[in-house]
Structure 1
Amino acid sequence: MKHFLSVVFLFISLTITQAQFQKDYPYRGVPFTKVKLDDKFWLPKLEINRTVTIPWSFQKSKETGRIKNFEQAVARKGKFCTIYPFDDSDIYKIIEGASYSLHVKYDAKLDTYIDSLITLIGKAQEPDGYLYTIRTMGDTTHSWIGKVRYEKEHELSHELYNMGHFYEAAAAHYLATNKRNMLDIAIKNADHLLTVFGPGKKAVAPGHQVIEIGLGKLYRVTGNQKYLDLSKFFIDCRGQRKYEKKTGDKEATVWQTGAYWQDNIPVTQQTEALGHSVRAGYLYAGMADVAAMTNNLEYLSALNKIWDNAFGKKTYITGGLGQAGNWEGFGPDYELSNHSAYCETCAAISSVYWNHRMFMAYGDSKYIDILERTLYNGLISGIGLDGKTFNYENPMEYNFQQGKLSGENKRSPWFGCSCCPTNICRLMPSIPGYVYAQKDNAVYINLFMSNTTTLEVMPKENVSFSQNTEYPWNGVVTVGVEPANKKGLKFPLMVRIPGWARGEAFPTDLYRYTSTNSMGLPKISINGQTFEYKLENGYAVIDRAWKKGDKLTMNLPMEVKQVVANEKVKDNIGKIAIERGPLVYCAEYVDNNGLTSNLVVPENQTFQAEFQTDMLNGVMTLKGTANALNIENNASVSTKTQPLILIPYYARSNRGSGEMRVWFPTRIKNLEIITE
């Protein structure tokens, strides 16, 4: 019972119980702390995060000087040890992930180490609450930070960005441990911000969003309305600054108009996903929080339009966001280049946050469809199977061009900008929190993984649920329902029927399957008897009186399907991608005679699914055939049929550096002869 409050509050999709919190999301996500995983796919990944990724990230933070920055801030002297002023946030994100892990599985040594870091951070905080190591140690030479506090906050100083991540970590730590040491530092800083920013004070649109989310979490924990008001104030500051336009190439437009920071027009007038994709995703998630807690319909209207643009015209098949590497962000509509796809891992994380909030606002499965696609493909591709190597970018292909590999298809143990590894630290333990949701007395099953949970479905009426499945390799999902009431309990169970299982590749017309689902809607049975269900917003509605021992079984059709992109996506004309269940597949050089850029995959061929226990920690491979284009002696061209082996996209780049491809041409249309 001592962690009851943390169960209530720990994750953003928590249930608010205080009387003063009257407004919130109508659909409430079940906190991950209430969901006990026993899943062969996800549990090993969460354990690797707990035992490898988090300790590794703390170690690299010490080696690279991130922790020393705080030590020098305590001494009030020194030269900044790392590259970017936002490096402070890496420590905060690791602490957040470690706090989540502490709650799931207590570790006294980790608890003590976190406390030592919090003590260090507290000493680095200035008397008035300001916390920013590079300025506090007296090093003001960095071009990003300005000569005085917050001078360049609207651009690149990241002072508020750091604090946004700090508030998220402080809330997680407090609710996981019931200790106030980190929370008190956060409150002191937030109270400092209230003396600087607000109506009649300094007005600024933060250069990198996340303070908006952090203030929302701080509000949830403390009940201080001023924190929520400040979050809204920062959001409403967007579109007020006048940017100086300069001459330059067309790519400079995103900088010259403020669009890079989503600061070109007020948020309520925005209709398009523009600029830096991580900043954008965090902004939209923060807007959704404020909209839910203040009933702001203007925010919700803008978010709907932006969502339609982002996921109708600017998303990769893996769920990845960000076409343009120059500004790590969104490009023009339908410009989804495969070789230059940026798809930053942090952008995938921000998309998960945003889409989960959109689900909590509307209860539509399309948001979970995007979340699931992102989670299984574009997000976990960012972490190596060893738990300590990472991808910052996640392109759709790597090719040899003039003897060199386009892009570095090799995972790194760390980066100069290591926002992605530390973001993974905090995202992974929270994954069970996306499985269930509730609205009134209805229970929603959003994701499929083996687990158990007990929920209060009605006042003083608890029901235990269990899932047993080998998803994503197998489509059979068995749900056990156990009401505590011996007489049973009548309530609706809402089971998501994934878009891919309904013949819908994507919830917009950006992608579609070349053939419809040959098996129709998935079959659902209750205690062995077929149940005829109605579909509502993508959910099978099963409204009945449930009794102890009831078993629901759903069989999702695991067909191998070919995907084509909207014809406006020029880079994918005449190409197909291959999916099975929620997974996008790719060809990697290791399995395909050393190359993938020379493969032509005939349409409508049959793939054989085969699980390989000794490959990439166990994966379902797809085996078919391809026509391989061969150039002999730089003079003649021929093709030959060869086996084609595909692996899940998330498992790529774990066996060395070489070619990889997601989209395959289906025929040879013409060849270009080039001279060097």
Structure 2
Amino acid sequence: MKIQNSFLTDLLFAFPLMISIPLLGQNHHLQQVNFTSVKITDEFWAPRIKTNHQVTIPISFVKSEETGRIKNFKVAAKLEPGGFCSTYPYDDSDVFKIIEGASYSLQLFPDPQLEAKLDTLINYIALAQEPDGYLYTNRTIDSLHTHPWVGKKRWENDPKHSHELYNVGHLYEAAVAHYLATGKTTLLNVAIKNADLVAKDFLDKRLPYYPGHQEIELALVKLYKLTGNSRYLDLAKYFLDIRKGGNEYNQAHLPVNQQTEIVGHAVRATYMYSAMADVATLKNVPEYQAAIHRMWNDLINGKYYITGGIGSRASNEGFGNAYELPNEEAYCETCASIGNVLWNYRMFLMDADAKYYDVLERTLYNALLSGVSLSGDRFFYSNPLESHGQHERQAWFDCACCPSNVCRFLPSLPGYIYALDSSTLYVNLFIQNQATMPVFNHQTGIEILTNYPWDGKVQIRILDSNPVPYAIAVRIPGWARGEAVPSNLYKFADDNISKWKLRVNNKEYPFELSKGYVFINKEWNRGDEIELELPMEVRMVKAHSTVKADSGKIALQRGPLVYCLEWADQPGKDLWNIALNLQKGFEIIRDDSLLPNCINIKGEACQIEKFASDKCFEFNAIPYFLWAHRGKGPMRVWIPYFPSRH
């Protein structure tokens, strides 16, 4: 296998943690900073990422062994006797996702035992691959007795349920991550052999089967960026262009560039729009750009939860009508939250607009983070905004897409903090870290010091830089500028807040906002510092009047965090028979009982049927992502309130 970037491997081993590796073909308006260049050092995300390495990834391997997912590869490779021994034909994808997550994690936590485990597992996968490159254990094990979802011929049932292309999409992503983390080509060789087969069957033979579950499209873009093989990028576009004649469930009801409304299965949708953003930029397809802007606006204007979750219906694991946002019935799949982050990140790379990071951040700190327990060993599939006590995280699922998706996403988080173009460094997320990256053709060391999201003070320091001029663009979150979300779906009910402040080297800076960023142009030197102070008052959020489920209610937010009331903090109180007394105001308190440095919100609530002082009590609201850690019981995000000036 030949990597066309001749210097790539040398750079990888010379600077395994500190250098941003430019990927061939990466000509977005903005470029990502590889996760290998950034080391998170805070007390909020760093422990979660370490728990992912120590707990989530190991138990994901154990569960994959227990459920037969890994054995399927051994049987397909004729290393063990037997038949297909897990539940679904897409179970191969979970193994690939866990490999991807483990590969990311190896860069953060060198682990010879984990690396050896990956070597063994990759050997099983390579041996399970058929001679022409086909890899799909359900068919390879017994082509005459496949799962009912699988067609008699390769690929023919993929537009419905077979997931052949979905599986290998996750193979490609795992292979790229494994190569970048280890420099080994063992899995990459498997992926390239398979991708060449898919390209031959679809590009050359013009097979008409579009992917039933989108994923391979964005994965092919990653493979193209690494190898420089333009057939992979052409194949991604081919899969998007043949998508028509199907149904709304998997967004095949219209050609992708003619779609006007976000519909169907939420994970499928976000994966497809992510690929469209990639292909639109790399191949200059303005029709794709126009379409995904329409979809994004449709989402943000009427189909987006205050927690950043998406997908209101369980029946299609996806979208309903505009303003159809029930709380207890909210689906908000964890995988859909991850997909929403992937999509908004690519929209940002395409447009350089902070509004996409406003959406990304809300999803990241609320709906996505709710999907995994603090202990790293229990998971939510759906993340409702209200519960009567019937919800609790599970150790695993028959359809285990969410746990495996979590274990691959968390260690990739360092790559979302910054972005670059030829002369500007974008600071997008306020996570304490140290990083080194090429800015204006010079290696620049930078660190962020902060206790975000509990505190709004952020220090950005230049650790090492050649004295050359370039811009640092600092994102000012929409919530800090008085904008709950980048639409009128949600509004802050109060406007009496302090203003955000920004100083450069301890002096006020004459800034102007552009697309949500302050651009600071100067010659940067070692020791230069930007100080940002974001307002952290408690905010009250109201939904658009058309959202019936939230009528007469407010949600509480502080910084990027949405809060909820949970049974354990209101002992003996009926959460369905209370309303907040807004005239009393709010108090913030530190509470380390669930999480170090955690900030809770206190205020006054009263029984609804009689607004009297003897029926009132002090409520205690916790960050939404922390709910369901103390057993099963009621919880709600949207809470009625007694009439006041609001």
TM-score bucket of the superposed structures, by smaller chain: over 0.9
What's the offset of the Cα at 1:199? 5.7
Task: Pick the aligned partner of 1:428 from 402, 407, 410.
Answer: 410
Match of 2:546 in 1: 568
Question: Could you list the per-position Cα deviations for residues 453-501 of structure 1 after superposition, in whole angstroms to 9, with x for gaps in the alignment?
Answer: 1222222x3322111100000000011124433xx33221110000010
Equivalent residues of 1:61, 1:91 under 8 A apart:
yes
Question: Could you list the per-position Cα deviations for residues 161-182 of structure 1 after superposition, in whole angstroms to 9, with x for gaps in the alignment?
Answer: 0000000001111111111110
Question: Could you list the per-position Cα deviations for residues 532-576 of structure 1 after superposition, in whole angstroms to 9, with x for gaps in the alignment?
Answer: 211111011211232321121111010100000111111111110
Equivalent residues of 1:10, 1:172 under 8 A apart:
no
Which stretch shows the higher mean deviation, 360-369 or 67-76?
Answer: 67-76
Q: Aligned partners of 2:448 and 2:362: how far apart in 1? A: 20
Amino acid at match of 2:354: S
What's the offset of the Cα at 1:9? 13
1:73 and 2:48 are equivalent in the alignment:
no
1:444 and 2:395 are equivalent in the alignment:
no
Match of 1:250 in 2: none
Task: Pick the aligned partner of 1:511 from 464, 484, 490.
Answer: 490
Q: Aligned partners of 1:300 and 1:7: how far apart in 2? A: 37
What's the offset of the Cα at 1:630? 7.7
Match of 2:88 in 1: 84
1:59 and 2:62 are equivalent in the alignment:
yes
1:532 and 2:514 are equivalent in the alignment:
no
Q: Aligned partners of 1:129 and 1:605: how far apart in 2? A: 67
Which stretch shows the higher mean deviation, 383-392 or 185-194?
Answer: 185-194
Equivalent residues of 2:138, 2:146 under 8 A apart:
no
1:335 and 2:310 are equivalent in the alignment:
no
After the TM superposition, which residues 271-290 of structure 1 pair with which residues of structure 2 at under 5 Å, given as runs? 271-290=260-279
1:118 and 2:118 are equivalent in the alignment:
no
Match of 2:557 in 1: 579
Question: Could you list the per-position Cα deviations for residues 176-206 of structure 1 after superposition, in whole angstroms to 9, with x for gaps in the alignment?
Answer: 1111110111111111112321365211221
Match of 1:464 in 2: 445
* Aligned CA distance change for structure 1 residues 517 and 282 (closer, same or farther; 3 Å): farther
SS of 1:506 mapped into structure 2: coil
Equivalent residues of 1:577, 1:585 under 8 A apart:
yes
Task: Pick the aligned partner of 1:496 from 449, 469, 475.
Answer: 475
SS of 1:144 mapped into structure 2: coil
Q: Aligned partners of 2:332 and 2:581: how far apart in 1? A: 28
SS of 2:350 mapped into structure 1: helix
Match of 1:646 in 2: 621
* Aligned CA distance change for structure 1 residues 120 and 288 (closer, same or farther; 3 Å): same
Q: Aligned partners of 2:259 and 2:8: how far apart in 1? A: 45
- Please report the RMSD computed on the Cα atoms of aligned residues, expressed in angstroms: 2.3
Match of 1:214 in 2: 219
Q: Aligned partners of 2:22 and 2:476: how far apart in 1? A: 28
Identity %: 46
SS of 1:198 mapped into structure 2: helix
1:230 and 2:209 are equivalent in the alignment:
no
Equivalent residues of 2:8, 2:21 under 8 A apart:
no
Match of 1:554 in 2: 532
* Aligned CA distance change for structure 1 residues 508 and 38 (closer, same or farther; 3 Å): same
Question: Could you list the per-position Cα deviations for residues 235-283 of structure 1 after superposition, in whole angstroms to 9, with x for gaps in the alignment?
Answer: 11111x2x5xxxxxxxxxxxxxx10010000000011111000000000
Q: Aligned partners of 1:517 and 1:204: how far apart in 2? A: 56
Q: Aligned partners of 1:443 and 1:15: how far apart in 2? A: 16
Match of 1:193 in 2: 198
Q: Aligned partners of 2:68 and 2:493: how far apart in 1? A: 52
SS of 2:563 mapped into structure 1: strand
Amino acid at match of 1:313: G
Amino acid at match of 1:120: Y
Q: Aligned partners of 2:173 and 2:409: how far apart in 1? A: 12
What's the offset of the Cα at 1:147? 2.4
**TM-score calculated relative to the size of structure 2:** 0.94
Question: Could you list the per-position Cα deviations for residues 49-98 of structure 1 after superposition, in whole angstroms to 9, with x for gaps in the alignment?
Answer: 01110011001111111111112212296332222111110000000000
Q: Aligned partners of 1:162 and 1:329: how far apart in 2? A: 21
Task: Pick the aligned partner of 1:414 from 381, 393, 396.
Answer: 396
Q: Aligned partners of 2:104 and 2:496: how far apart in 1? A: 40
Equivalent residues of 1:512, 1:565 under 8 A apart:
yes
Equivalent residues of 1:15, 1:29 under 8 A apart:
no
Amino acid at match of 2:559: G
Q: Aligned partners of 2:14 and 2:255: how far apart in 1? A: 34
What's the offset of the Cα at 1:413? 0.6
What's the offset of the Cα at 1:614? 2.6
What's the offset of the Cα at 1:5? 4.7
After the TM superposition, which residues 2-151 of structure 1 pair with which residues of structure 2 at under 5 Å, given as runs? 5-6=11-12, 16=22, 18=24, 21=25, 24-75=27-78, 78-138=82-142, 140-151=145-156
Task: Pick the aligned partner of 1:588 from 546, 566, 585.
Answer: 566
Amino acid at match of 2:330: A
Match of 1:476 in 2: 457
The gaps in structure 1 that reach 5 residues or longer are: 244-257, 400-404, 632-636, 669-676
SS of 1:197 mapped into structure 2: helix
Amino acid at match of 2:481: R
SS of 2:605 mapped into structure 1: strand
Equivalent residues of 1:576, 1:663 under 8 A apart:
yes
After the TM superposition, which residues 265-414 of structure 1 pair with which residues of structure 2 at under 5 Å, given as runs? 265-399=254-388, 405=389, 408-414=390-396
Match of 2:3 in 1: none
Q: Aligned partners of 1:659 and 1:332: how far apart in 2? A: 27
Which stretch shows the higher mean deviation, 614-623 or 102-111?
Answer: 614-623
What's the offset of the Cα at 1:519? 1.6
Match of 2:178 in 1: 173
SS of 2:411 mapped into structure 1: helix
* Aligned CA distance change for structure 1 residues 422 and 295 (closer, same or farther; 3 Å): same
Equivalent residues of 1:628, 1:639 under 8 A apart:
no
Question: Could you list the per-position Cα deviations for residues 213-248 of structure 1 after superposition, in whole angstroms to 9, with x for gaps in the alignment?
Answer: 111111111111111111110011111x2x5xxxxx
* Aligned CA distance change for structure 1 residues 604 and 416 (closer, same or farther; 3 Å): farther
SS of 2:615 mapped into structure 1: strand
Amino acid at match of 1:479: I
* Aligned CA distance change for structure 1 residues 524 and 4 (closer, same or farther; 3 Å): farther
* Aligned CA distance change for structure 1 residues 277 and 184 (closer, same or farther; 3 Å): same
* Aligned CA distance change for structure 1 residues 84 and 490 (closer, same or farther; 3 Å): same
Equivalent residues of 2:462, 2:526 under 8 A apart:
yes
Amino acid at match of 2:437: L
SS of 1:379 mapped into structure 2: helix
Q: Aligned partners of 2:163 and 2:178: how far apart in 1? A: 22
The gaps in structure 2 that reach 5 residues or longer are: 1-6
Equivalent residues of 1:8, 1:15 under 8 A apart:
no
Q: Aligned partners of 1:273 and 1:211: how far apart in 2? A: 20
* Aligned CA distance change for structure 1 residues 492 and 126 (closer, same or farther; 3 Å): same
Q: Aligned partners of 1:563 and 1:30: how far apart in 2? A: 34
Question: Could you list the per-position Cα deviations for residues 1-58 of structure 1 after superposition, in whole angstroms to 9, with x for gaps in the alignment?
Answer: 99665599999x976454xx3x621111211110111111110010000111001100
Task: Pick the aligned partner of 1:161 from 159, 166, 175.
Answer: 166
What's the offset of the Cα at 1:617? 4.7
Q: Aligned partners of 1:197 and 1:542: how far apart in 2? A: 48
Equivalent residues of 1:9, 1:15 under 8 A apart:
no
Match of 1:248 in 2: none
Number of residue pairs aligned between Structure 1 and Structure 2: 633
Match of 1:252 in 2: none
Q: Aligned partners of 2:520 and 2:585: how far apart in 1? A: 35
Equivalent residues of 1:584, 1:648 under 8 A apart:
yes
